[in-house]
A and B are shown apart, each in its own frame.
Chain A
Amino acid sequence: MDKRTTAAEISAELRDGMTLGIGGWGSRRKPMALVREILRSPVRDLTVVSYGGPEVGLLCAAGKVRKVIYGFVSLDSIPLEPQFRKARQSGSIEAVELDEGMLQWGLYAATLRLPFLPTRAGLGSDVMTLQPWLRTVRSPYEDGEELLAVPAMPLDVAIVHMNRADAKGNSQFLGPDFFFDDLFLGAAKRRFVSCEKLVPTEELTREGSFLTLRIHRGMVDGVVETPRGAHFTECPPDYGRDEAFQSEYAKASRDPEAWKSFEQRYLALDSEDEYQRAVAARAGAEAR
């Protein structure tokens, strides 16, 4: 089945109040082109589940977010995500802050259609007191140990960004880390992949070993080619993080006037093409 679609069609899947899972990790291989499409849409009150990077900050800044489920939100080379901090410190979003491993467990439980998975991660910490809805479970075996029951975290929609994919949705990562992208797709009702380059199926194993094929077409409902679609996060080996752009984003976040002009230059645009042109123009100006 040909599952090629557009960023606009993927974004249109989202309704107010839905839960959106976003693949990648920090400022690494994030589906930013799809996020930018969501920023342009009227959707709001999203619950975002993520190993958070700038996509969380941008969605918060645009008023799209009601709740974030996360273990951290970071730009990696800049440890604290500025727009997410702003949203947290103004009290405008609900925060479900968990241990990183709990996030994996919740997505995995949803993937396996289990109500929960047990762990020790979180016990004794303020994860338990700040999220009083979390429950523990006692081992039914001789040991009788009490464990944290991480609830399944089902998603309405999941979006991930890959290096390569074919028209049917078979997808490939070529960088060093796959992160938890299969679990985001596994936990979601509707599952979408953006990729750097759409290729014929037979090319997939030419560029990387079979070990890079962790997402097959049965896990994907729609696929779209978005060249440089992870910008400004890294997407190795296709490109590294745009550190200059990222630091401009972070700097602009500190000052309302600067943020207004950042928004105008890069966010208040009608299309991804215009965004990529603005980024190219910026890089050109910097080179001169």
Chain B
Amino acid sequence: MTSATRAEVCAVAIADAFRDDGEILVSPIGNLPQIGARLAKLSFAPDLLLTDGVAFLVADVQPLGAPAGKGVVEGYMPYRSVFDTVWSGRRHVMMGASQIDRYGNQNISCIGEFQKPKAQLLGMRGAPGNTMSHPTSYWIPNHSTQVFVPKVDVVSGVGYDRAAKLGPLGSRFHEIRRVVSNLGVFDFETPDHSMRLRSVHPGSSVEEIREQTGFALVVPEDVPETRAPSDEELRLIRERIDPKGLRDREIRSS
């Protein structure tokens, strides 16, 4: 097996974010999160519930880019049931972020002044409800000071400082589980829940990550390297989950 590409390291780091989720709905938004979630389901988290991206829960794992309707339908999950599931807490979402700050506040709404933005983005979507209801993680394929900012222009997904202001009762379902970028893995397991460097992808470095981050990261003395994919994981990614290599369009090989 040839050594893992950066995209494959990211896929495995994403899969690890879903490791202990058990039998809940996982909503991976974007190609790499899709690969990671399918990898988790095929290896160490077989009970995860995954949809076909339309309205059905599928029991088997289809290759990325396969036409909808190919999978074995095991349940029905129209949008009406999605919000019920979100608010029930039995879900873990991995969303993107146009901006994210040190407490995990996420912006997908707009850049600039809200009344007349420089760039209208997706809109709030489900970010406010997701972050207040169940574990939320983020996937950021373009780690830079453009994205990792001191202060987001609009808070769509709620970060730890905002959640804390709601008190222990109001914030009891809030959790930002993990941030995976093309350079490293991050969490909020610090006393004040500010973002911590959890591991550095092989080929990147603490220096590079610091340079590309617009706020002071918590960096432990010893930062491990993000774990390498096993041969079996690489086989699953390359042959079973992403034979078309869509992962390489998101993250250049290095």
Contact = CB atoms under 8 A, between A and B. Distances in A.
B109 interface: yes
Contacts of A80: 120-122
A179 B79 CA distance: 6
Contact of B78 (A73, A79, A99, A176): A176
The size bracket of the interface on A is: 35 or more
Interface of A: 25, 52, 70-74, 79-80, 84-85, 88-91, 95, 97-102, 104, 119-127, 129-130, 143-146, 176-180
Given A120-B173, A123-B166, 18 more contacts: A71-B124, A80-B120, A80-B121, A84-B120, A85-B120, A91-B115, A101-B129, A121-B126, A124-B155, A125-B124, A125-B128, A126-B154, A129-B155, A130-B154, A145-B169, A176-B56, A176-B78, A178-B80
B116 A91 contact: yes
A95 B128 contact: no
Contacts of A84: 120
A99 to B, nearest CB: 4
A176 B131 contact: no
Contacts, number: 137
A100 B124 contact: yes
Interface residues of B, number: 44
Contact of B54 (A79, A91, A121, A177): A177
A120 B129 contact: yes
A178 B170 CA distance: 32
B53 to A, nearest CB: 10
Contacts of A100: 83, 124-126, 129
Given A80-B120, A124-B163, A176 B54 contact: yes
Contacts of A146: 166, 169-170
Given A72-B124, A79-B122, A89-B120, A101 B132 contact: no
A71 B83 CA distance: 13
10 contacts: A80-B120, A80-B122, A85-B119, A95-B115, A119-B129, A120-B133, A121-B87, A124-B132, A130-B154, A146-B170
A124 B166 contact: yes
B121 A121 contact: no
Contacts of B109: 97, 126
Which of A52, A79, A95, A99 has its CB near the most chain B CB atoms (within 10 A)?
Answer: A99
